[in-house]
Amino acid sequence: VQLQASGGGLVQAGGSLRLSCAASGRIFSINDMNWYRQAPGKERELVAIITSGGSTNYADSVKGRFAISRDTARNTFYLQMSSLKPEDTALYYCNVRGQEAWYERVMDYWGKGTQVTVSS
């Protein structure tokens, strides 16, 4: 499974961005789809989760401002970010848990990060 993230950029505080993550390659199943972020000097943190059933969960710091969604048919998921703050500045990574074949174990797959910078 390969993941390609896109949509990052520079935005002013209060603005919006939409991140996308497309999965390709050998895909038998994809379970949870997640967005993480890592700011300079900080540990990577989980931002948002969407399960195969469509349930979502968010870090407290982004609740009410970010929304995760998925297009199962296209193996693509999104992170709509609104009311952005300078503290949202980070490298954002997409992650999925899935299988490349029915006989293989469930694994974590990661995309390369996409930079989000929010200016004050």
In whole angstroms, give the CA distance from residue 81 to residue 88.
9
pLDDT digits (tens, 9 = 90+) for 77-117: 999 999 999 999 999 999 999 999 999 999 999 999 999 99
Three-point CA angle 120, 69, 67, nearest 5° = 30
| Residue pLDDT, tens place only, 12-39 | 999 999 999 999 999 899 999 999 999 9
